[in-house]
Structure 1
Amino acid sequence: MAVVELTSDPTGLYLKAALGLLPVPRRPEALPDREIARRGLIIDRDHLARYDRVCGFRLSDTLPATYVHVLAFPLAMTLMSASDFPFPVVGLVHVANRITVRRPVDATQRIDLLVRAENLRSHDRGRVFDVVATAFADDENVWTGVSTYLSKNAPKGDASAKRDHPPMPAPTALWKMPARVGSDYAEVSGDHNPIHTSRIGARLFGFPRPIAHGMWSKARALAALEGRLPAAYTVDVAFKQPILLPARVGFSAAARTDGWEFRLDSKRPHLAGLVTPP
């Protein structure tokens, strides 16, 4: 596998991604056999503090599990916006995310990141693949994230959003999500997808209003469990129906013998998550 080394965060990624929507003669059928790497990354404490505030974490030098995803995001975008990627990155749907924390990571440590794409497969609404990010500290694998993306081939307005859903569990907390959640998270995550920050951009992709980032929702849920999670764990989430901003959603969490189960719901399910041993 070829390795491309980055020495700084790339710029202009969403412009490059938008250009990927232009017609091309033929896209490759396979995922690129390439890994994007960035080594010796120094944590910006001010940036970490802003992220903590936006997502609801306590200010701490210990990196939240979802923060490393933000560090790896520019590498993932570099990979997915390349001309040899099978799908345009704009329009991909983030349907699931799994993070494994093998031990706490301190903000004083330098991080090495590696990102690759794998496991392209069929789905009842198109094709899905995984973007796998791995973080090392002191040459030890301390964190792994797997983001599953869907490239849809279903027509707009399909019936998936009209399904009947089972009754939602009684929430343990009600959260008010202002419209600025989309732009606030975009600023700290670097994910400036217009479906999260612009009413016009959201409408272009079939949403009446901007929608919350899925990874903000996951981070906010983990922040609600802060202080009750072990030092090492795996947290899986499935992203259900989008959260149209502004919104009020219910958060529910239940302890299990091996971890936690949690959800975000309103009239429809938005996120279902599970914390288990790594």
Structure 2
Amino acid sequence: MTDRTARVAGPAPGLLLTRSPALTPLLARGTLLSAFRRPAPDAAFPRTRLVLPDLRVDLVRLTAYERVCGFATGEDALPITYPHVLGFPLAMRLMSGRDFPLPLPGLVHTSIEIVRHTALPATGAYELSAHIAGLAPHRRGTEATVVTEARAGGAVVWESRSTYLARHRTAGPTPASRPSDDGPGPDPLPGVAEWRLAADLGRRYGAASGDRNPIHLHPLAARLFGFPRTVAHGMWTVARCLAAHGTAPSARVQAEFRSPVLLPGAVQYAAADGRFELRGADGRVHVRGQVDPPTPGPDGS
């Protein structure tokens, strides 16, 4: 791959990529380097902003993604979660590099906030970028925040902020916790639908998204990380909920990943008043989120 440094709009120096990085080699590299990492909230982290210009969507892969997540197929608009899939290889390149301080194995995606400013045509061309906004203490370790943006015509049309937690022993005062860390949270939402999840869901989503983390594909790999069976991708859970919930062309989504979904299994989708949950048969909440009303445009419409 040939990269070059360029002046690009954004909060950090831009490294222009010629194509999207392959995820599997990045996962392998990050795993090998993790033994040398010492996570801490005050550690140095990469400041580079990776930029992938003039990206066009592979419509065959998009259709596969829409099917496995429950979105309608054939519409000329990207699902609200799909730019995350497109930008994830950039985030992974940052997190698998030598200058990223958190170990990649066991890194947990704890939350995502997505803002879609307008509908994104599936046949459009986009500039994608990703950078690490910072590290923060967490009562269970250290969290990294990764910002991903999609631009069209120079304007930001979609953006997200994801937090990733590396668990380790902490010293000193316990930092303030997010609401999801304390107590049971809001009252349970009314159930809307029951979904039975097949054992091969992780493999099907991995093939559509490119995210082939072994814990989602192979029971043995999942057991090495303390799970009795394979685990569904967190981004599948929120995408499936949003496919059922629906979103306006301009919308803000906030979601917290609270516990893993084991495969095969059964879950209940619950929703009311812009809020949604995915719950297990025992009532445990796997993901909890909120969809805000459309953001008013410049003319107030």
The two structures share one fold, judged by TM-score above 0.5:
yes
Q: Distance in 1 between matches of 2:189 and 2:115?
A: 26
**What TM-score do you get using the length of structure 1 for normalisation?**
0.90
Equivalent pair of 1:239/1:272 in contact (CA under 8 Å): yes
From 115, 127, 138, the equivalent of 2:153 is 138
Equivalent pair of 1:168/1:265 in contact (CA under 8 Å): no
Residues 45-194 of structure 1 mapped to structure 2, 5 A cutoff = 45-59=59-73, 60-153=75-168, 168-194=188-214
From 274, 285, 288, the equivalent of 1:269 is 285
Query: Sequence identity, in percent?
Result: 39
Equivalent pair of 2:52/2:129 in contact (CA under 8 Å): yes
For residue 221 of structure 1, give the secondary structure of its aligned residue in structure 2: helix
Residues 34-53 of structure 1 mapped to structure 2, 5 A cutoff = 34-53=48-67
| Change in CA separation of 1:119 and 1:94 when aligned onto 2, cut-off 3 Å | same
| Change in CA separation of 1:231 and 1:248 when aligned onto 2, cut-off 3 Å | same
Q: Distance in 1 between matches of 2:183 and 2:218?
A: 29
Q: Does 1:209 align with 2:222?
A: no
Stretches of 4+ moved more than 6 A in 1? 25-28
| Change in CA separation of 1:26 and 1:132 when aligned onto 2, cut-off 3 Å | closer
Matched residue type, 1:14: L
From 15, 26, 33, the equivalent of 1:13 is 26
Q: Deviation at 1:129?
A: 1.7
For residue 94 of structure 2, give the secondary structure of its aligned residue in structure 1: helix
Matched residue type, 2:261: I
Count of equivalent residues: 265
Moved more, 15-24 or 1-10: 15-24
Q: Distance in 1 between matches of 2:38 and 2:58?
A: 42
Equivalent pair of 2:34/2:102 in contact (CA under 8 Å): no
Equivalent pair of 1:99/1:236 in contact (CA under 8 Å): yes
- Residues 245-278 of structure 1, C-alpha deviations (whole Å, 9 max, x = no match): 11101101112xxxx1000011211010100144
Equivalent pair of 2:39/2:103 in contact (CA under 8 Å): no
Q: Does 1:239 align with 2:257?
A: yes
Match of 1:3 in 2: 14
- Residues 79-107 of structure 1, C-alpha deviations (whole Å, 9 max, x = no match): 10000101122211000011000000001
Runs (5+) with no aligned partner, structure 2: 1-11, 171-181, 296-301
- Residues 198-233 of structure 1, C-alpha deviations (whole Å, 9 max, x = no match): 11111111111111101000100011023xx32201
Q: Distance in 2 between matches of 1:205 and 1:187?
A: 22
Equivalent pair of 2:38/2:102 in contact (CA under 8 Å): no
| Change in CA separation of 1:26 and 1:74 when aligned onto 2, cut-off 3 Å | closer
- Residues 129-168 of structure 1, C-alpha deviations (whole Å, 9 max, x = no match): 210000001212100011111111159xxxxxxx995774
**What TM-score do you get using the length of structure 2 for normalisation?**
0.83
Q: Distance in 1 between matches of 2:190 and 2:38?
A: 51
Matched residue type, 1:30: A
Runs (5+) with no aligned partner, structure 1: 156-162
Q: Does 1:254 align with 2:272?
A: yes
Equivalent pair of 1:182/1:196 in contact (CA under 8 Å): yes
Q: Distance in 1 between matches of 2:29 and 2:49?
A: 19
Q: Distance in 2 between matches of 1:82 and 1:101?
A: 29
Equivalent pair of 1:91/1:151 in contact (CA under 8 Å): yes
